[in-house]
Structure formats: structure tokens, C-alpha cells
């Protein structure tokens, strides 16, 4: 079904589009759908969002006063239209939302400019795209009518249900939440209409947790994935490296987890090295030359773990055909990085290769390699079977450490992942070596070997951006932001976490790395890390074109090395494949052939390396419409991961109601303070209303609550005794009280 957003996205500001062509692009053929399109077009004209010329062609209005944004509501009823990270949010009064819900993509018009520290105010004129096609709700009877009341209290609406859905009326003992499919969104004074499609009885039923969390995150659980046409892979024009030793470093254990790359190391006669990184060649196997095939991915842009297995965005046949199985040859798209004696990059080149996995290196191997004594002649029981590979593995780990050290020297920071001791969540806590949404690195961890391939893939992915950008090719990339928007002094002052003996540098400033190092106490360090988690912005995927202005090329990453993980890696890898196969290596009438896949080759190329047909196909993939959809899906997956961790933590706490623990105060608010239970690595709330022996005043500058009479205080970093008294599965909430 088309949306208002899809109508506008298909119109151009310069060239008009006929009605029939618009119907074809939107795949509209039924009369009922055409009637809906006619209504939408008239409304968009009235709002001066689109124009209709004398030839009955439609175009977007130039310099429209409307701004594209997403609605963000709070549980207290405050709503804002959120633009990108660099622009101010717009305050929307509830009566000016025009039935927009939390998460909806909208067109907003500013009706009152912001003054001083107040946000501008606006009105929602058009809902471009609804985020919630399915709602989780409680069924309630109100004035003899059946309604679904969304459990997300940021959605300010109730859904009218058919009479026969009253059988799903909410029962506290069963915690029977329902999934409601929206048949008609609210319009004007008319209520929204829907029907129940599934009931989830959550009480003491952990098997339903993934379904519940997926629905709450508005993600489809894909049981049957639509097939996409596969192409025949070229097995001839490849470098055969199957005789060379190749290694996979792997921590993921679940079925259908992303296929990790292989690594090879070659020592040259002058003691320099070649580091090969081989990514499974998925882009060669998929036909991405048609819009129809690309649209297959629109409801699944990323793979993610469902606890005991992964939900892959690719079908099983593609994964099986592409997988690097130990001892079996397979095709790859590879980068060869030439390194100096000091492990500095001196050259690179991209190739189609054929490789064979010699060894899957696991966490037990890593621990044995790093813990052995350098002068020991005895090989441990774990290392003895892989003795012939140890020299190669040592060198690869050495290069990884060198790459990371340089990144940290250049100003990047490391923050460890939160602790976990819930076994069912293990896969969610394994390091993802190509997650670039965060403005920090996860430290190299002897218990997670995938942290050690992260610096290597970071280098390979940053090299591809430099290479392709020099040729003017489009890319889907992450751009690292400066961290100067974070007030380090405020963190120090508010948290009182850092030791008082602080020495500033010559500029009178303190780096993040120094800040973390100055925090000596482990408990304080955990609180500091959490504060940084909360203030560091996340990166969206950006479309980089030859017109884009890039200030610092070293801070741009175009991931391609893990195409089975997400569509971003796939589309960038497809870019590499097209350049290898179709890129022009010489000008007309020239015998001077240039290896365009080698470092600095662009300086010798004075021609367009791609034909207009190839560029047209690439522009069909690399466009802002797809990038926006990818970012929206990634945001849903981020919420899914967070919610899955939360519900499992609450489930564990539910079994421990009444037990007493010694906990650490992590944050303090006017309504109470959150305490971490170290044994569970779970936070619960001690509400201020339970502190009934006094009236407590909140002092934000000191991060504490203090009793007016007793002067008893509860401060950030304090260790106190608490008891679990109640949990709420639906809100992922744990209530505590003092002992």
C-alpha cells in the first residue's frame, strides 16, 4: 500500500510526472486505490506541498515552508517534531498533532519561532508515513464499546475494535496483551479502527518474549522470506588463494549469524606484510539491477539475534551458498593491504578471489594465545592442535592492536559494553565488528575474539570510502562526529566521579581518554560510562556523493566487509563488485591500462570509470529514500535489542522478589534513584514515596536526595541495601525499597 511519503518521494521538483506513470511507480491498479490516491493528491495540492501544471503533471513545490520530521511524544503528553541531529526540535501542542502518533513521519509548519531557550512551535499539516501498522494493546470495555488501549503511553489514542474482540479483555493475572492491526487511522473526530490478530499471554511465558518485543519495536518476524533472483557467480576471473592459510575469528554461535570474513597474512622478503581480508561475495549472487528486487529488502534491512537464532535479512540459500565452511573453497571479494615493518598502510588493492577457511579461531584459542608466556617452549593443550597457525595468528593480533592504538592516539575513545550474566542474552552481548552507529570503540576483550577483528575491518571499510570517494562514487557511510558537544566539566561536576588531582593540558582542556583514566574506582567508572552512554549521540547512515562536503576523510566509514549483516554492507560491496567488473581501465584509443582498484590509481584516470547504464543502476540503490528507510529500520532494531535485554532482566528479577541485595546508586532524580544490583547487572527504582521517614529534597547539582529533618542523603555512587518488591513485565520496570 502506498503512503503520502511514497507519493512525494516519486515526484521531482523540475520534471512533471503524469498521473498514469505515478500509478505505475506506486503499483496502483485497483479503482479503490486510485480513488485514495486522488484524495491524497488533492489534499497535497491544498497544502501547497505539490503542484499540478497545465498538462496535468505533478511536481513537488520548490522552497516549501514544510519541514520533514518525526514525532516524538513523552508519556506526559509533550510532543516534538524531531529533525536531524543538527537542527532544533519543534514543539507540537496535542491539539495540533492532527492525529499523528509517536514515531510518525510528518510534514510540519512552524507557526511560532523559538525565543531564547524555548523551542519553536509548529503544526502537523501532513502525515507522510505511519510508523505503527500494528499496535500492542490492552483490550478494555468503555461505555459498552470495545477498545484497544496502546501499552505505549506515548501513543495518545484508543482503537475501536469489533464486538467479538471483547473476549480478549485484559486480565491482570494472564497479562494477555494483543496485537492489533490498524484498519483505519483516526481522521479528524473519527476514532481509529482495528482488529485483534494475535493474543500474547505473557505471565510466566518467556517463550513469547521475542514476539512481544518484536511487536513493541514494530518489526515483522519473518518466517518466510521472499526469494530474490540470484545470478551466476563468476568462478573464472579470480585470484586463487585456496592454498594460503585463511582464518575466521568467531564469537557468534547462533544459527544464521552473519558470515564473518577470512584473514590471511603474507610475509614479504623485506619483512613487510600483506594482510588479506576476504568478505563473502553476496553482492555477486544477488541481482540488484531492478527496483523490484531492491524492494524485497524494504521490510528487513538488517540481521539481528532472536536469542537462540538470528533473524537474517537474507534467505537461507544465499547464506548457505556464501558461507565460508572450513576446508571448502568459496568465492570472496577481498582487499589486500600492504603494510610496512611498523604496520603502516603503504598500499591497497581490491580483488575477486577464491579462498578456503583453514581454521575457525574461537575465544578459547584467543585466551590461550594471549595468556601464554613469550619465552615458554611448552605449547598448551588448546594451542597444540593449531601449532602451525600460531605465527600467523600472532601477527594478525599484533596488527589489530597497532591499528586500534593509532585510532586512540587520534582522539577516539573506548567504552566497555555493559556486563551481562543472563545466559539467554549472550548473543546480544557479543561484539559486532561492523557496528559504527556509536561514537566510541569497544575495548579489545580477551573473552570476545570479535573485538580483535574490529580494528581490521574498520581499516578496510575506511579504505573503501577513500578509494571510492576519490573516484566520485556514491557511498552509504557513517561519519564520526566531534565530541565537543559533550560538557566534560559538567560530567565531572555533577557526578563527582573523577579524582581531584586533575592536570589540564596546555590548552586548559581534558580529553575523554584522560577523563576515563582519571576515574580510578571501578564502581565510579561504571557510572561514568553510563553517563557517557546517555550523552554521546548515535550516528545515522549518510548518503555520500561527489557533491558532498567532507572535512576529515579519516572519520568516514563505508562498511562492505559483512554483507550478510545488513543492506549497507551489501550495497557498498555491490559498489566494489561493479567497479571491478565494469570499471573502465583505459580511455578510448589508449593502450595504457590502469589498475583502478589500486591505491592512488584515481590520480591517473581522466575519464568516467562507469557507463551511464551502470550509474543509473547505482543511483537506484544509492538514494536518500532508501537511506531514510534503512535508518528507520536500524532504529527499530536498536529498540528491539534494548527491549529484549530489559525484558529478560525483568524476568530474572521477577524470580527474586523479596530478596535483599547490596546495590550501587547509578542515577538520582527528583522522583527517586536507580540502583544497580551487581549480581544481576540490573537497575531498579527506589521511588521517593517509599522513603516515608522524611521529606526528601532533590539537589540536581550534587546528584542527591537529602532529608529535610534527618539530613540523610542518597547520592550517586552510594552503596545501599535494597529489596526487590515488584516488577512490571510490560514496562520493563523493577521496583525496589530500602532495607
Distances (CA, A) of 691 to 695, 726, 738: 8, 16, 8
What are residue 337's DSSP bridge partners? 275, 348
Under 8 Å between Cβ of 45 and 66: no
pLDDT of residue 687: 94
At 54 the pLDDT is: 82
Task: Dump pLDDT digits (tens) for 245-260.
Answer: 999 999 999 878 999 9
The answer, yes or no, to whether residue 231 has pLDDT greater than 70, is yes
Over 60: is that where the pLDDT of 508 sits? Answer: no
pLDDT tier for residue 494 given thresholds of 50, 70 and 90:
low
**End-to-end Cα, the chain, rounded Å:** 56
β-partners of residue 79 are: 73, 92
**Alpha-carbon separation of residue 318 from 237, 284, 346 (angstroms):** 21, 11, 35
Residue range(s) occupied by CATH 2.40.50.700 in the chain: 134-203
Q: What is the topology classification, in CATH, of domain 67-129?
A: OB fold (Dihydrolipoamide Acetyltransferase, E2P) (2.40.50)
Q: Reduced to 3 states, what is the DSSP secondary structure of residue 604?
A: helix
pLDDT digits (tens, 9 = 90+) for 509-530: 555 566 666 666 777 777 878 8
What's CA 504's distance to the chain center, in Å? 35
pLDDT tier at 490 (50, 70, 90 boundaries)? low
Distance CA 360, CA 325 (A): 9
pLDDT digits (tens, 9 = 90+) for 605-664: 989 999 999 998 898 999 988 998 999 899 999 999 999 999 999 999 999 999 999 999
The whole-number pLDDT of residue 488 equals: 60
> Three-state DSSP class for 692?
coil
Residue 1 pLDDT = 62
C-alpha cell at 726: 515488584
Q: What's the chain's average pLDDT?
A: 88
pLDDT, tens digit, for every residue of 386-419?
999 999 999 999 999 999 999 988 878 888 888 8
Report d(CA 133, CA 232) in Å as an integer.
38
pLDDT surpassing 90 at residue 472 = yes
What CATH number was assigned to the domain covering residues 134-203?
2.40.50.700
Instruction: Say yes or no to pLDDT of 122 above 90.
Output: yes
pTM: 0.89
Percent of the chain with pLDDT over 90: 57
Please give the helix or strand (H or E) that residue 110 lies within, else none: strand 105-112
Please compute the mean of the pLDDT values over residues 550-579 and round it to a whole number: 92
For residue 256, the model assigns a pLDDT of 85
User: CATH classification of 656-738 is 2.30.22.10, yes or no?
Assistant: no
Helix (H, G, I), strand (E, B) or coil at 480: coil
Residues 6+ positions from 307 with CB-CB distance below 8 Å = 210, 254, 424, 425, 427, 428, 644
CATH 2.40.50.140 maps onto the chain at: 67-129, 656-738
Q: Half-sphere exposure of residue 513, counting CA atoms within 13 Å on the CB side?
A: 12
**Interatomic CA distance for residues 679 and 702, integer angstroms:** 27
Residues paired with residue 201 on neighbouring β-strands, in sequence order = 176
Amino acid at each position: 500500500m502506498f503512503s503520502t511519503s511514497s507519493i512525494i518521494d516519486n515526484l521531482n521538483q523540475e520534471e512533471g510526472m503524469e498521473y498514469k506513470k505515478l500509478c505505475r511507480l506506486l503499483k496502483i491498479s485497483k479503482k479503490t486505490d486510485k480513488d485514495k490516491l486522488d484524495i491524497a493528491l488533492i489534499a497535497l495540492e491544498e497544502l501547497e506541498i505539490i503542484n499540478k501544471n497545465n498538462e496535468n503533471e505533478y511536481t513537488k513545490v520548490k522552497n516549501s515552508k514544510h519541514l520533514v520530521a518525526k514525532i516524538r511524544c513523552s508519556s506526559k503528553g509533550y510532543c516534538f517534531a524531531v529533525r536531524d541531529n543538527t537542527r532544533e526540535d519543534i514543539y507540537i501542542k496535542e491539539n495540533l498533532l492532527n492525529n499523528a502518533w509517536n514515531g510518525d513521519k510528518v510534514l510540519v509548519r512552524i507557526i511560532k519561532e523559538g525565543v531564547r531557550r524555548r523551542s519553536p512551535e509548529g503544526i502537523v499539516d501532513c502525515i507522510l508515513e505511519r510508523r505503527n501498522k500494528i499496535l500492542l494493546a490492552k483490550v478494555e470495555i468503555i461505555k459498552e464499546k470495545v477498545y484497544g488501549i496502546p501499552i505505549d503511553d506515548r501513543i495518545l489514542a484508543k482503537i475501536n475494535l469489533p464486538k467479538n474482540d471483547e473476549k480478549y479483555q485484559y486480565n491482570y493475572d494472564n497479562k494477555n496483551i494483543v496485537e492489533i492491526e490498524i484498519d483505519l487511522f483516526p481522521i479528524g473526530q473519527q476514532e481509529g479502527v482495528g482488529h485483534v490478530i494475535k493474543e500474547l499471554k505473557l505471565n510466566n511465558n518467556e517463550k513469547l518474549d521475542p514476539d512481544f518485543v518484536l511487536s513493541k519495536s514494530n518489526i515483522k518476524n519473518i518466517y518466510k522470506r521472499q526469494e530474490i533472483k540470484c545470478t551466476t557467480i563468476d568462478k573464472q576471473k579470480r585470484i586463487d588463494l585456496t592454498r594460503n592459510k585463511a582464518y575466521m575469528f568467531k564469537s557468534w554461535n547462533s544459527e544464521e549469524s552473519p558470515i564473518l570474513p577470512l584473514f590471511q597474512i603474507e610475509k614479504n622478503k623485506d619483512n613487510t606484510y600483506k594482510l588479506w581480508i576476504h568478505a563473502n561475495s553476496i553482492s555477486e549472487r544477488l541481482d540488484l539491477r531492478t527496483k523490484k528486487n531492491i524492494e524485497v529488502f524494504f521490510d528487513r534491512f538488517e540481521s539481528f539475534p532472536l536469542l537462540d537464532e538470528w533473524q537474517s535479512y537474507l534467505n537461507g540459500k544465499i547464506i548457505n551458498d556464501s558461507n565460508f565452511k572450513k576446508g571448502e573453497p568459496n568465492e570472496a571479494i577481498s582487499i589486500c593491504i600492504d603494510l610496512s615493518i611498523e604496520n603502516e598502510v603503504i598500499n591497497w588493492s581490491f580483488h575477486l578471489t577464491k579462498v578456503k577457511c583453514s581454521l575457525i579461531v574461537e575465544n578459547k584459542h584467543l585466551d590461550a594465545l594471549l595468556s601464554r608466556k613469550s619465552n615458554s617452549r611448552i605449547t598448551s593443550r588448546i594451542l597444540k592442535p593449531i601449532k602451525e597457525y600460531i605465527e600467523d595468528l600472532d601477527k594478525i593480533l599484533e596488527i589489530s592492536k597497532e591499528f586500534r592504538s593509532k585510532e586512540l592516539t587520534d582522539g577516539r575513545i573506548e567504552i566497555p559494553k555493559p556486563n551481562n550474566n543472563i545466559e539467554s542474552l549472550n548473543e546480544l552481548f557479543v561484539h559486532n565488528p561492523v557496528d559504527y552507529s556509536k561514537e566510541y570503540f569497544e575495548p579489545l576483550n580477551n573473552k570476545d575474539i570479535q573485538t580483535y577483528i574490529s580494528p581490521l575491518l574498520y581499516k578496510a571499510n575506511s579504505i573503501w570510502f577513500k578509494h571510492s570517494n576519490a573516484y566520485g562514487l556514491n557511498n552509504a557511510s557513517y561519519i564520526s562526529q566531534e565530541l565537543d558537544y559533550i560538557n566534560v566539566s559538567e560530567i565531572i561536576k555533577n557526578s563527582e566521579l573523577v579524582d581531584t588531582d586533575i592536570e589540564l593540558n596546555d590548552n586548559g582542556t581534558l580529553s575523554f581518554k584522560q577523563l576515563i583514566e582519571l576515574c580510578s574506582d571501578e564502581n565510579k567508572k561504571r557510572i561514568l560510562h553510563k553517563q557517557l552512554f546517555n550523552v554521546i549521540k548515535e550516528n545515522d547512515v549518510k548518503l555520500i556523493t561527489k557533491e558532498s562536503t567532507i572535512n576529515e576523510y579519516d572519520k568516514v566509514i563505508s562498511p562492505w566487509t559483512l554483507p550478510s549483516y545488513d543492506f549497507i554492507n551489501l550495497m557498498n560491496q555491490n559498489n566494489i563488485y561493479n567497479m571491478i567488473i565494469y570499471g573502465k581501465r583505459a580511455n578510448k584509443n589508449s593502450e595504457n591500462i590502469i589498475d583502478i582498484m589500486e591505491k592512488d590509481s584515481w590520480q591517473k584516470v581522466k575519464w568516467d570509470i562507469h557507463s551511464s547504464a551502470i550509474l543509473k543502476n547505482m543511483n537506484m540503490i544509492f538514494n536518500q529514500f532508501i537511506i531514510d528507510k534503512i535508518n528507520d529500520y536500524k532504529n527499530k532494531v536498536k529498540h528491539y535489542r534494548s527491549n529484549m535485554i530489559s525484558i529478560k532482566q525483568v524476568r530474572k528479577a521477577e524470580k527474586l522478589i523479596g530478596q535483599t541485595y547490596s546495590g550501587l546508586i547509578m542515577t538520582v532524580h527528583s522522583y527517586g534513584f536507580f540502583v544497580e544490583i551487581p549480581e544481576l547487572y540490573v537497575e531498579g527504582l527506589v521511588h521517593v514515596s517509599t522513603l516515608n521517614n522524611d521529606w526528601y529534597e532533590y539537589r540536581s547539582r550534587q546528584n542527591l536526595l537529602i532529608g529535610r529533618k534527618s539530613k540523610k542523603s542518597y547520592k550517586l555512587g552510594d552503596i545501599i541495601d535494597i529489596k526487590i518488591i515488584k516488577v512490571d513485565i510490560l514496562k520493563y520496570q523493577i521496583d525496589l525499597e530500602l532495607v
